[in-house]
Amino acid sequence: MRDTEIRAMIDALHAIAERDCLSHRGLARQVGCSTGQLSMVFAGKRRPGVRFIRLVVRRYPEIRRLLATSLAQDEQCPSVRANPS
């Protein structure tokens, strides 16, 4: 997962927490992860793993759509990779 996708997911989680009036503890409980893990992801000290992302998109399908849109845009505009030779 790229940094831009992680940032978009974190921003979406912040917006959800604000919308639903949830603290970090409340959001972590809703997602199904620990408060510490959520705080470290929010602070950029830890990258979200597959399990964390799976928990988030199961609880908040709108984030799944956000990530799917990002992936679709990548397929339309593939990045140019430098030739390593």
CATH number at residue 11: 1.10.260
8 domain residue, yes or no: yes
Q: How far apart are CA 27 and CA 9, in angstroms?
A: 13
**Model confidence at 25, in pLDDT bands (50, 70, 90)?**
very high
81 domain residue, yes or no: no
85 domain residue, yes or no: no
pLDDT tens, 41-59? 999 999 999 999 999 999 9
Number of domains observed in the structure of the chain? 1
80 domain residue, yes or no: no
Instruction: Please report the pLDDT score of residue 74 as a whole number.
Output: 58
79 domain residue, yes or no: no
Backbone angles phi, psi at 59, to 5 degrees: -80, -35
Q: What share of the chain has pLDDT > 90, as a percent?
A: 62
Tokens of 11: 């921003």
pLDDT(84) > 60: no
pLDDT(19) > 90: yes
Q: What is the pTM of this model?
A: 0.77
